Chain A
Amino acid sequence: MRKAVGPIARRSEVIRQQRERGGWVAAVLPIHYPRALLRSFDLLPIEVWGPPGIDPDHGAAHVQAYVCSIVRNALSFILSGGLDVADVIMVPHTCDSLQGLGSLLLDLVRPRQPVVPFYLPRGERECDIQFLAEEFRAISRQLEEITGRSPSLLELIECVKRDEEADGLLGSLHHRRNELALNSYEFYRVLRAREYLPSEDFVELARSCLACAAEAPNVGVPLILSGIVPEPMSMLALIDELGARIVADDLACCGRRLYPNGVSEDPFVRMAERIVRSAPDPTRGSPLADRSEHLLRLAAGSEARAVVFHGVKFCEPELFDLPVLREELKRAGLPSVIIEVDLNDPLSHQVRTRLEALLEMIR
């Protein structure tokens, strides 16, 4: 079978290209944000999930040791100049820790770039959509001031539709992952290119992958991966090495962001609808019943035989749900395992042992 993916442009290269053609860059913290709105201002969103493996000392001078490594690393990265390339820093209110980071950056540890925080509503009601749409309108006014640009509604709706196309293809990649001749590591490299590639480039990448899709034999124990972000990525290679494969995910950076198309003709409402109506997510306050149903549906659809909960240490939204989710999965005959990591730690032997134990149990 032909290899389904060629070289993927690196972040630095994509940023350089954006700069060269006169565009701006927005560094965006996890998880949900109005990507299309940023693009309408010619701001390329570059997501910052940590990043892993950096010197956390700068951050450690400002936040306590019991704050997760995503926030600590992000702060370190900002303070050490790692995000100097960005013109704007966007901080969605994802959790108490990211709230703290946003507030610190606005009030006490000011970076050179403007900081744009916004609040993510925790419900799925009509009022939540309306509120989020208004938040996006407020961000738009702020970006007008920062960039001096005023994109029209037509331009914005075009960006939204381009995003919908890219996310539709992202969904196809998820659903047809078994047909792509990619191992887990390669597959998630493709998916995670969505974190920094412009939508139009991601569409091209996704199409080229899907064009090579073909029926492939299902090898390896099918697993679901749930959590925030699959770091260190070497864990994915380990899963392959141990004779397992990820057949579906409930990751904050991937599967929880398979946004459905919006309905409204108002681009602000439409962007809000897409986020509020996406897959269940603890950071959006989704009921636990919805989360367990979603996981069970994923398992049924992918024939997964176990779930790996891969969390970042101190991540409260994830930790609160685990006992109930694991119990519901157990009731349905699906074993699960919890792996907890700090983004700065290499893949540990403990992780290997836990995965091995899980797989032995299934086999």
Chain B
Amino acid sequence: MSVGRKMVYHVNVNLLGRAVLRWHRLKAERRGGAPRGWKQEYLAPPLSISPRTKELISRHYLAGRYAHLGRKVAWVTSGAPVELLKALDYYVLYPENHAAVCGTVRACVEISGEAENAGYSRDLCSYARTDIGSALSGKTPVGKLPKPDLLLACTNICQTVLAWYRVLAQHFRVPLILIDTPFLFGEASEHVITYVRRQLEEAVPVAETVAGKRFVERRFEEVTQRSRMASQLWLEILERNHHQPAPLSVFDQFIQMAPIVEMRGDGFTVDFYAALLREVDQRIAQGVGAVTKEKRRLLWDNLPVWYRLRYLAEFLAERGVAVVASTYTNAWGELAPMMDVNRPWDSMVRTYLHPILNRGTGHKLATMIRMIEQYELDGAILHSDRSCKPYSIGQMDQRDHLVRECGRPALLLEADHNDPRSYAEEQVANRLDAFLEMLGV
């Protein structure tokens, strides 16, 4: 990188950008309290860490905007072994997270419309459509996305990501590294572990060539250590919800999980979750629950409905229902014990083979049952997500098992994580009402 480019990057990202974002954060922190229309009688005030979350995410996208001045850019799937790339100082972008941001600000229909106009079917995953639409049109609510120099797709969450990244590879004409993680119908056998290990090793020289840097094992260990620490903290934060009333709703978790997904391996992510854990502990000490009058506690299965987070949070809180645990947010913490800094390669293979989405429907059911017991939950909402088949197939039987064998009411709620055109509010409200009646609220 030339000195001039370095300067421009440094001034825009590290000096001006940071200062402006910090100022915004401080302003928000000073203002404090709840935003207009916040239903304080049912919901605890927003977490005081929220402005910092916003600052982190904004800083991440700001760094992306100027990344081409000094760093190579990799686009990766959410379950990708990002530690490899972080060790080579890539700027890492997560199209799934970006799509979720689009969903949250209700830009999905417009942006995915660009992909649909180009021939991408509405039956495809709405994250993929949003991201492809953004790549084709340049539309994004975060300013500007950097073009990738490298793509890394890991199949441990679905095969959709590979189909999607093949499209991106064709569009951007950049190398695509595939880390194929065989679906675990049962236990991971030796040849599965060997296969994934070999692919990780083969990925290094490709990533080195694109980065123009040598892979340094020590740096890799440091990044892995930070990933493990952040994941561990995240898991501890989630587990604080064993407490009643639960200090954090899953709707809070959906927002606060952004750094663990897209900033895993960074030091500031560890600091962020340490601070969030302190705030959660403070809430417990003060007897503050995320839902002020917690009467019933539920499990959420599958991705969030990004464009109706607040609506659902308020709808349930008004009725005294706290959704306190989720198989989705749990997925970013439950693998922390598998990360072993002393054996980073082996532990990386194990960690990235075992996400809940890479395991069978029986395993997910067992996880749900365990969570229901540990968090003392009264029932479950299973979001039947049109855009996520691997997460959704099996839910009909999982619901039946929860009802019949665990004696917990469970509701299958039809929606889509990003596309509001596959969501019918009245129907959702009716079904939720009927379900809550069963719960006696």
Contacts and interface: CB of A to CB of B under 8 A. Distances in A.
> Do these two chains interact?
yes
Contacts of A66: 123, 386, 389
A316 B120 contact: no
Contacts of B384: 64
A337 B54 CA distance: 46
B435 interface: no
Nearest to B359: A103
Interface stretch (A20-28, A118-126, A161-169, A226-234): A118-126
Nearest to A130: B195
A97 B128 CA distance: 17
Q: Which of A101, A106, A107 has the most CB of B within 10 A?
A: A107
Interface stretch (B6-14, B289-297, B322-330, B395-403): B395-403
Interface in B292-330: none
Contacts of A122: 155, 159, 162, 178, 180
B198 interface: yes
Interface in A314-358: 314, 316-317, 319-324, 326
Contacts of B158: 96
Given A61-B396, A131-B191, A103 B120 contact: no
B104 interface: no
Contacts of A103: 183, 185, 360-362, 393-394
B118 interface: yes
A288 interface: yes
B143 to A, nearest CB: 26
Nearest to B122: A319
A97 B393 contact: yes
Interface stretch (B38-46, B78-86, B166-174, B225-233): B166-174
A97 B191 CA distance: 24
Contact of A288 (B166, B189, B198, B363): B166
Interface size class of B (residues with CB under 8 A): 35 or more
A108 B163 contact: no
Contacts of B361: 100, 103-104, 107-108
Contacts of B169: 287-288
B421 to A, nearest CB: 13
B4 interface: no
5 contacts: A63-B396, A64-B393, A95-B159, A138-B189, A320-B160
Interface in A66-122: 66-67, 93, 95-97, 99-104, 106-109, 117, 119, 121-122
B397 A104 contact: yes
Contacts of B198: 127
Contacts of B162: 122, 285
A96 B389 contact: yes
A134 interface: yes
B125 interface: yes
When A and B form their complex, which 5 residue pairs have the shortest distance between CB atoms, in order from nearest? Answer: A100-B393, A107-B362, A323-B119, A134-B191, A119-B182
B164 interface: yes
Interface in B363-402: 363, 365, 384, 386, 389-390, 392-398, 401
Nearest to A282: B163
A319 B167 CA distance: 11
A135 interface: yes
B76 to A, nearest CB: 16
Instruction: For chain A, give the interface size range.
Output: 35 or more
A90 B285 CA distance: 55
Contacts of B398: 108
Name the residue among A67, A100, A135, A319 with the largest chain B CB count within 10 angstroms. Answer: A100
Interface string B394-416: 11111001000000000000000
Interface of A: 61-64, 66-67, 93, 95-97, 99-104, 106-109, 117, 119, 121-123, 125, 127-128, 130-131, 134-135, 137-138, 282-283, 285, 287-289, 313-314, 316-317, 319-324, 326
A121 B365 contact: no
A100 B362 contact: no
B124 interface: yes
A326 B396 contact: no
Interface in B101-141: 118-121, 123-125, 128
Contact of B123 (A127, A319, A323, A326): A319
Contacts of B118: 323
Contacts, number: 152
B155 A63 contact: no
A104 B180 contact: no
Contacts of B394: 100, 103-104, 107-108
A73 to B, nearest CB: 15
B396 A67 contact: no
B128 to A, nearest CB: 8
B271 interface: no
B351 interface: no
A283 B155 CA distance: 12
B425 interface: no
A107 B365 contact: yes
Contact of A96 (B185, B191, B194, B390): B390
B178 A123 contact: yes
Contacts of B170: 287-289, 324
A285 B191 contact: no
A321 B169 CA distance: 12
Given A67-B393, A119-B183, 13 more contacts: A99-B159, A103-B361, A106-B360, A108-B365, A123-B180, A135-B191, A283-B159, A285-B166, A287-B169, A316-B124, A317-B159, A319-B121, A320-B160
B120 A323 contact: yes
B397 A321 contact: no
Contacts of B155: 122
Contacts of B124: 316, 319-320
A326 B394 CA distance: 34
A117 B163 CA distance: 22
A325 to B, nearest CB: 10
B163 A316 contact: yes
B97 interface: no
B393 A322 contact: no
A302 to B, nearest CB: 24
Contacts of B195: 121, 127, 130-131, 134
Contacts of A323: 118-120, 167
Given A93-B183, A106-B362, A122-B162, A62 B191 contact: no
Contact of B390 (A62, A99, A106): A99
Contacts of A107: 360-363, 365, 394
Nearest to B190: A134
| Chain A CB within 10 Å, residue with most, of B191, B362, B393, B396 | B393
Contacts of A324: 167, 170
Contacts of A108: 361-362, 365, 394, 397-398, 401
B202 interface: yes
A317 B163 contact: yes
Contacts of B362: 103, 106-108
Contacts of A138: 189, 191
A128 to B, nearest CB: 7
Given A117-B185, A121-B180, A109 B163 contact: no
A145 B167 CA distance: 42
Contacts of A326: 119
B199 interface: yes
